[in-house]
């Protein structure tokens, strides 16, 4: 009853027409697999393409190949498919895609599910609709131009006779797949599902406790593992006494895992696994282990010292990453302003810690993983087990949050290695302490900013430096500099129109696993520039919004030409997603108008503002705070987001609300510190997250835009921290440049 | 620690299980009985994801042992009567990832059972122990307030 059933492939006796990344062709063994058992009931159905199957009973099975972690993608992708397909939403059943290269990238991070797949999903829907229309036209012996699809039926225009998708499906599935270029896409004004705030498809399951997350997987004969991992990166087990652990009721076995060599990559960290008949016994057994660890090169990592070194480094010249105009030779004291901003290590702290279940048999490995990245899970597990990738099947569960942590498949590798050793299904459940102490951390960082005013109270030169251990250090040894891709995230790509700009990066050696967390380096870079523009505004005695207007300059599409800088633009062409200064200006106007309507602030209160472009979206945030007796209360946040065309407006709003809270959390209380190479924090008492009584009123303004769909999950985060510290300055006259604020304020 | 036969009353049904009486109810529900709606979040009573009702009162399943609920009625998200709250949760599109929502609903249901028309302060107090990393707090609050308004009019 409680066993999680492995679902077989959708009926193989249908003709399976596929055109995935390869385009065109006929293949068997399509894997539109669901952990949704509803797919099991279906047999007589036609696979129209990789993403769409239609049953004789009129059900429309739409595959979501991206991971659901709260952003609503299991609703958004099907909305796009269903729209061009002209499917009735009530007939839609969502199938979760397995790891499968034919889908293209499934790595659900970088705020790219919609922006990278919008057109292709429309094409998939349109191709299937065309096949249904052609089938109906053939049955009626009328030209295809005389038929049209609507609400899961195909109609003949003049006679108004109709056939349901279900009646057409099996014949339609035998049609030749039309060329993508030949199919008609709808005009935006004809959309029926895109642009609608559909309720998320998993709503009822979530409210009834029936939604299946990684932690909820239960297989026949499964055992449970809890792993004690090396507390310092690079150390290994020196001695192990498992006598007491083996006496714990329910404990079955104790297994030592190897510590990997070289760069961390996505490898399992090693350590000692306690295997038991249930999660609690495994955890209890683990507590009874007597373990000592070997020394590591990272034993002396101490964040206080490391940060002091980083701050010193950003005050001295680094490597130039972008330069406009000649270097400024003189910085006259009276017209120059400089400041250093710091952000500590942060960790993801998604509510569901990492968890995976593996079943390794002679046939291969099957995984059920709470993963953002099924294909790298497949690749990494195959490599660790010595299997072919095709022999690793990855089922994607719902994710109890991800924020980038679950893009790293180390926990799935652990489950697979243990299952291979034990010859039975194994679930590896991370505790909260595991999650906090064995993360892929958002990098500790320092930013130096310096600017000079001309004789007309205008900024005419900017020098900035950033320093942080690079994500690249997780993938290669010897990395000492941030990558260009990381600097693209809100540092080098801010389109300021100043006569002189010089942007530099400095060296920093990694002492732990560095990863990406919701909005990545935009966090520290937006905090730097967002704070500094406000400081300049204060010095110039201008409103912050006005200072941004002046520094951004005239509306234009910034290309950064001739500045020694080639912009990655989040993997998008500048032609599709320009750095459009006009869109910044529009948000400045929108926020200015919104703030004009707000009541006058009371004593000890103040508004702060910041704006940032990331993941090719634009977000402005205004924050109202009150500070009394050193106690900070955030009263209101207003966010205006221009994410181009949006598929599900309510989910864009909810993501932006969540981003505000994520940003407030990191600014107010987020800090991971290291002492003797070990993480100091362990659970929510010392790595706190914002709670309901600390949450402000939040208003999200969704700016109408006909630009191409842009990122949504992350762009709301970066401007939050600077808007908050700017607000505190407005309320108190005190400038905070080092996060988190709970070191100096009661929150 | 020894295994013994435990009788557990969950959602009106009796379950007889072999388990250590010190085992937290959370793990008995999830790993033995097979009710996985109650979630693990921290194991230390800090996040509220594992909130259950014991004789109607909200308790943290990760800190409540089997021996502490002997002879008592345990209610989980799978069995709680909370049609009004579920309707409001759906109306306000509260969940994002959804993982903490069972605990949120259990805390809210316990609040409304004793205080059908809570003030903002009472909502803050009752919900302060439930963390949502996705940041659904504004909608949680709105949903509870909508239920309270409905209760005031009834």
Length of chain A: 747
**pLDDT score at B16:** 95
Q: Kindly state the helix (H) or strand (E) to which residue A678 belongs, with its residue range.
A: strand A678-679
Mean pLDDT of the region A423-442: 98
**Domain carrying residue A119:** 38-205
The answer to whether the Cα torsion of A504, A510, A511, A516 is positive or negative is positive
Q: Kindly state the helix (H) or strand (E) to which residue A225 belongs, with its residue range.
A: strand A223-228
Report which DSSP code applies to B8: E
Chain B contact present for A2, CB below 8 A = yes
Give Cβ neighbours of residue A85 (< 8 Å, ≥ 6 apart): A52, A60, A125, A126, A128, A129, A149
Let me know whether A425 and A498 are in one domain: no
Contact (Cβ atoms closer than 8 angstroms) between residue A547 and residue A529:
no
What is the average pLDDT score of chain A? 93
Contact (Cβ atoms closer than 8 angstroms) between residue A114 and residue A712:
yes
CA–CA distance, A685 with A675 (Å, rounded to integer): 18
Structure confidence at residue A557 as a pLDDT band (50, 70, 90): very high
Let me know whether B90 and B43 are in one domain: no
Among B16, B47, B75, identify where a domain stops: B75
Let me know whether B104 and B41 are in one domain: no
Mean pLDDT of the region A183-191: 96
The 10 Å CB-count burial string (b at 16+, else e) for A102-115 is: bbebbbbbbbbbbb
Contact (Cβ atoms closer than 8 angstroms) between residue A61 and residue A40:
no
Chain B contact present for A224, CB below 8 A = yes
**How many structural domains is chain A composed of?**
3
Let me know whether B57 and B88 are in one domain: no
CATH classification of the domain holding B61:
3.10.20.30
Helix (H, G, I), strand (E, B) or coil at A562: coil
Let me know whether A78 and A198 are in one domain: yes
Let me know whether B71 and B106 are in one domain: no
Which chain A positions have a beta carbon within 8 Å of B76's beta carbon?
209
Let me know whether A406 and A551 are in one domain: no
Give Cβ neighbours of residue A292 (< 8 Å, ≥ 6 apart): A237, A238, A239
Which chain B positions have a beta carbon within 8 Å of A221's beta carbon?
none
Which chain A positions have a beta carbon within 8 Å of B3's beta carbon?
249-250
- The answer to whether position A181 is within a domain reads yes
List the beta bridge partners of residue B101. Answer: none
Q: Kindly state the helix (H) or strand (E) to which residue B51 belongs, with its residue range.
A: strand B51-54
- The answer to whether position A434 is within a domain reads no
pTM for this entry: 0.95
* Distance, C-alpha A491 to centroid of its chain: 19
**pLDDT score at A43:** 55
CA–CA distance, A596 with A592 (Å, rounded to integer): 6
Among A146, A177, A205, identify where a domain stops: A205
Q: Enumerate residues 189 to 208 of chain A having a beta carbon within 8 A of any beta carbon in chain B.
A: 197, 199-200, 202-208
CA atoms within 13 A on the CB side of A162: 12
Q: What are the C-alpha distances in Å from A276 to residues A222, A254, A284?
A: 10, 9, 10
The answer, yes or no, to whether residue A722 has pLDDT greater than 60, is yes
Nearest to A76 by CA among A37, A40, A111: A111
Contact (Cβ atoms closer than 8 angstroms) between residue A736 and residue A340:
no
Q: What are the C-alpha distances in Å from A486 to residues A306, A562, A570?
A: 20, 20, 10
Let me know whether A629 and A496 are in one domain: yes
- The answer to whether position A609 is within a domain reads yes
Which chain A positions have a beta carbon within 8 Å of B86's beta carbon?
207-208
Show the 3-state SS of A88-155.
CHHHEEEEECCCCHHHCCCCCCCCCHHHHHHHHHHHHHHHHHHHHHHHHHHHHCCCHHHEEEECCEEE
CATH classification of the domain holding A228:
3.30.365.10
**pLDDT score at A26:** 23
CATH classification of the domain holding B87:
1.10.150.120
The answer, yes or no, to whether residue A18 has pLDDT greater than 80, is no
Nearest to A378 by CA among A335, A344, A409, A338: A409
Chain A nearest CA to B118, separation (Å) = 14
Give Cβ neighbours of residue A141 (< 8 Å, ≥ 6 apart): none
Alpha helical stretches, state H, A353-394 = 374-385
pLDDT, tens digit (0-9, with 9 covering 90-100), for A354-366: 999 999 999 999 9
Alpha helical stretches, state H, B7-133 = 25-27, 83-91, 101-114, 120-127
Among A369, A398, A429, identify where a domain stops: A429
Contact (Cβ atoms closer than 8 angstroms) between residue A135 and residue A168:
yes
- The answer to whether position A619 is within a domain reads yes
Among B24, B59, B75, identify where a domain stops: B75
Length of chain B: 154
Let me know whether A505 and A466 are in one domain: yes
**How many structural domains is chain B composed of?**
2
* Best mutation target, B13, B65, B94, B134, to test chain A (most A CBs within 10 A): B134
Let me know whether B38 and B93 are in one domain: no
The answer, yes or no, to whether residue A17 has pLDDT greater than 60, is no
Nearest to A666 by CA among A342, A339, A313: A342
> Torsion over CA of A409, A413, A415 and A420, rounded to 10 degrees?
160
Facing B93 at nearest CB: one of A68, A429, A650: A650
Let me know whether B53 and B88 are in one domain: no
Let me know whether B38 and B20 are in one domain: yes
Contact (Cβ atoms closer than 8 angstroms) between residue A717 and residue A663:
yes
Let me know whether A469 and A330 are in one domain: yes
Phi, psi of A548 (to 5 degrees): -60, -45
Let me know whether A58 and A133 are in one domain: yes
> Torsion over CA of B62, B66, B72 and B73, rounded to 10 degrees?
50
Give Cβ neighbours of residue A158 (< 8 Å, ≥ 6 apart): A146
Let me know whether A405 and A552 are in one domain: no
Give Cβ neighbours of residue A648 (< 8 Å, ≥ 6 apart): A72, A75, A76, A79, A196, A197, A198
Residue pairs between chains A and B whose CB atoms are closer than 8 Å: 185
- The answer to whether position A3 is within a domain reads no
- ipTM value of the model? 0.98
- The answer to whether position A330 is within a domain reads yes
Nearest to A700 by CA among B75, B93, B126, B150: B93
* Distance, C-alpha A202 to centroid of its chain: 19
Let me know whether B117 and B139 are in one domain: yes
The pLDDT tens digits along chain B (154 residues) read: 578 898 999 999 999 999 999 999 999 999 999 999 999 999 999 999 999 999 999 999 999 999 999 999 999 999 999 999 999 999 999 999 999 999 999 999 999 999 999 999 999 999 999 999 999 999 999 999 999 999 999 8
Among B34, B54, B75, identify where a domain stops: B75
Chain B nearest CA to A331, separation (Å) = 44
Let me know whether A537 and A681 are in one domain: yes
Mean pLDDT of the region A565-594: 98
Check CB contact under 8 Å for A352 and B89: no
Facing B99 at nearest CB: one of A203, A224, A351: A351
Chain B nearest CA to A433, separation (Å) = 8
- The percentage of residues in chain A with a pLDDT greater than 90, rounded to a whole number, is 93
List the beta bridge partners of residue A623. Answer: A608, A637
Which tokens is A687 given? Answer: 């790595």
Q: Kindly state the helix (H) or strand (E) to which residue A80 belongs, with its residue range.
A: helix A73-85
Strand A355-361 relative to strand A426-429, pairing:
antiparallel
Give Cβ neighbours of residue A414 (< 8 Å, ≥ 6 apart): A225, A227, A257, A268, A273, A356, A428
Let me know whether B66 and B93 are in one domain: no
Contact (Cβ atoms closer than 8 angstroms) between residue A360 and residue A424:
no
Mean pLDDT of the region A436-462: 98
Chain B nearest CA to A507, separation (Å) = 33
Which tokens is A206 given? Answer: 């979530």
Give Cβ neighbours of residue A451 (< 8 Å, ≥ 6 apart): A336, A337, A338, A459, A461, A462, A463, A532, A536
Nearest to A416 by CA among A427, A407, A406, A405: A427
Let me know whether A364 and A478 are in one domain: no
- The answer to whether position A32 is within a domain reads no
CA–CA distance, A486 with A538 (Å, rounded to integer): 30
Let me know whether B98 and B146 are in one domain: yes
Q: How many CB atoms within 10 Å of residue A134?
A: 19
Let me know whether B102 and B56 are in one domain: no
Chain A nearest CA to B65, separation (Å) = 11
CA–CA distance, A311 with A467 (Å, rounded to integer): 8
Cα angle for residues B113, B116, B122 (degrees, 5° grid): 95
Burial of A389 (0-12, 13-18, 19+ CB in 10 A): middle
Let me know whether B57 and B9 are in one domain: yes
Which chain A positions have a beta carbon within 8 Å of B42's beta carbon?
432, 683-684
Structure confidence at residue A500 as a pLDDT band (50, 70, 90): very high
Which chain A positions have a beta carbon within 8 Å of B37's beta carbon?
208-210
The answer, yes or no, to whether residue A34 has pLDDT greater than 60, is no
**pLDDT score at B6:** 87
- The percentage of residues in chain A with a pLDDT greater than 70, rounded to a whole number, is 94
Let me know whether A129 and A188 are in one domain: yes
Which chain A positions have a beta carbon within 8 Å of B30's beta carbon?
215-216, 279
Chain B nearest CA to A212, separation (Å) = 8
Let me know whether A374 and A491 are in one domain: no
CA–CA distance, A170 with A715 (Å, rounded to integer): 43
The answer, yes or no, to whether residue A28 has pLDDT greater than 90, is no
Q: Kindly report which listed range (A2-6, A172-176, A248-252, A271-275) carries the lowest average pLDDT score.
A: A2-6
Alpha helical stretches, state H, A561-710 = 581-596, 649-669
The answer, yes or no, to whether residue A94 has pLDDT greater than 50, is yes
The answer, yes or no, to whether residue A3 has pLDDT greater than 70, is no
Among A181, A205, A229, identify where a domain stops: A205
- The answer to whether position A387 is within a domain reads yes
**Domain carrying residue B27:** 4-75
């Amino acid at each position: 009853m409680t066993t999680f059933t492995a679902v077989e492939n959708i009926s193989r006796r249908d003709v399976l027409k596929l055109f995935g990344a390869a385009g065109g062709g006929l293949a068997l063994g399509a894997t539109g697999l669901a952990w949704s058992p509803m797919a099991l009931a279906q047999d007589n159905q036609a696979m129209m393409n990789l993403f769409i199957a239609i049953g004789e009973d009129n059900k429309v099975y739409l595959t979501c190949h991206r991971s659901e972690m709260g952003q609503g993608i299991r609703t958004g992708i099907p909305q796009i498919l269903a729209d061009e397909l002209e499917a009735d939403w009530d007939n839609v059943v969502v199938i979760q895609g397995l790891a499968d290269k034919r889908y293209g990238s499934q790595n659900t991070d970088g705020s790219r599910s919609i922006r990278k797949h919008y057109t292709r999903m429309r094409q998939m829907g349109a191709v299937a609709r065309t096949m249904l229309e052609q089938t109906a036209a053939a049955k009626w012996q009328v030209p295809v131009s005389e038929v049209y699809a609507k609400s899961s039926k195909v109609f003949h225009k003049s006679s108004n006779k109709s056939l349901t998708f279900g009646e057409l499906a099996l014949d339609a599935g035998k049609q030749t797949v039309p060329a993508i270029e030949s199919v008609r896409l709808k005009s935006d004004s004809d959309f029926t599902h895109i642009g609608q705030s559909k309720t998320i498809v998993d709503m009822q399951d979530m409210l009834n406790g029936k939604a299946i997350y990684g932690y909820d997987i239960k297989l026949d004969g499964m055992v449970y593992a809890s792993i004690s991992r090396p507390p310092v990166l690079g150390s290994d087990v020196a001695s192990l006494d498992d006598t007491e652990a083996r006496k714990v009721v329910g404990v079955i076995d104790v297994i030592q895992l190897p510590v990997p060599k070289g760069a961390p990559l996505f490898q399992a960290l090693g350590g000692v696994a306690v295997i038991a008949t249930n999660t609690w016994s495994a955890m209890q057994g683990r507590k009874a282990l007597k373990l000592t660890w070997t020394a590591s090169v990272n034993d002396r990592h101490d964040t206080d010292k490391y940060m002091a070194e980083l701050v010193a480094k950003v005050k001295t010249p680094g490597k130039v990453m972008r330069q406009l105009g000649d270097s400024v030779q003189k910085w006259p004291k009276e017209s120059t302003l400089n400041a250093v901003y710091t952000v500590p290590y942060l960790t993801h702290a998604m509510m569901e810690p990492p968890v995976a279940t593996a079943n390794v048999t002679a046939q291969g490995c099957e995984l059920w993983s709470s993963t953002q990245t099924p294909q790298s899970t497949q690749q990494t597990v195959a490599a660790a087990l010595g299997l072919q990738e095709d022999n690793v099947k990855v089922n994607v569960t719902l994710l109890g949050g991800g924020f980038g942590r679950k893009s790293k498949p180390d926990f799935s590798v652990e489950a697979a290695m243990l299952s291979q050793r034990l010859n039975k299904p194994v679930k590896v459940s991370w505790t909260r302490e595991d999650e906090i102490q064995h993360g892929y951390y958002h990098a500790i960082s320092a930013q130096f900013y310096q600017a000079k005013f001309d004789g007309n109270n205008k900024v005419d030169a900017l020098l900035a430096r950033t320093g942080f251990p690079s994500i690249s250090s997780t993938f290669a040894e010897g990395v000492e500099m941030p990558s260009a891709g990381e600097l693209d995230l809100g540092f080098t790509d801010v389109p300021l129109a100043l006569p002189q700009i010089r942007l530099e990066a400095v060296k920093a050696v990694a002492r732990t696993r560095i990863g990406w967390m919701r909005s990545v380096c935009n966090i520290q870079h937006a905090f730097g520039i967002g704070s500094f523009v406000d400081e300049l505004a204060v010095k110039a005695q201008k409103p912050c919004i006005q200072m941004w207007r002046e520094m951004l300059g005239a509306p234009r599409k910034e290309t950064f030409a001739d500045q020694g800088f080639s912009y990655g633009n989040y993997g998008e062409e500048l032609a599709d997603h320009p750095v459009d200064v006009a869109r910044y200006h529009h948000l400045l106007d929108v926020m200015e108008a919104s703030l004009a309507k707000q009541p006058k602030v009371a004593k000890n209160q103040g508004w702060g503002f910041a704006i940032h472009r990331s993941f090719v979206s634009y977000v402005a945030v205004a924050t109202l705070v009150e500070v009394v007796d050193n106690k900070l209360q955030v009263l209101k946040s207003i966010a205006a987001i221009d994410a181009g065309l949006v598929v599900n407006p309510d989910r864009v709003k909810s993501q932006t609300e969540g981003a505000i809270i994520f940003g407030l959390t990191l600014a107010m209380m987020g800090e991971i510190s290291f002492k003797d190479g070990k993480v100091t924090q362990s659970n929510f008492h010392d790595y706190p997250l914002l709670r309901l009584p600390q949450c402000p009123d939040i208003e999200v303004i969704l700016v109408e835009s006909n630009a191409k769909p842009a990122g949504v999950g992350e762009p709301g985060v970066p401007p939050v921290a600077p808007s908050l510290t700017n607000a505190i300055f407005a309320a108190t006259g005190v400038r905070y440049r080092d996060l988190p604020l709970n070191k100096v304020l009661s929150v | 620690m020894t295994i013994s036969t435990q009788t557990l009353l969950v959602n009106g049904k009796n379950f007889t299980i072999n388990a250590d009486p010190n085992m937290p109810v959370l793990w008995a529900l999830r790993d033995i009985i097979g009710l996985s709606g109650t979630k693990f979040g921290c194991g230390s009573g800090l996040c509220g994801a594992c909130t259950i009702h014991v004789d109607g009162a909200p308790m943290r399943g990760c800190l409540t042992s089997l021996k502490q609920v002997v002879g008592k009625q345990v209610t989980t998200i799978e069995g709680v009567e909370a049609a009004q709250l579920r309707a409001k949760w759906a109306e306000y599109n509260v969940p994002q990832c959804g993982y903490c929502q069972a605990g949120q609903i259990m805390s809210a249901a316990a609040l409304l059972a004793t205080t059908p028309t809570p003030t903002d302060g009472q909502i803050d107090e009752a919900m302060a122990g439930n963390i949502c990393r996705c940041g659904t707090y504004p909608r949680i609050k709105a949903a509870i307030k909508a239920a309270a308004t409905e209760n005031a009019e009834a």
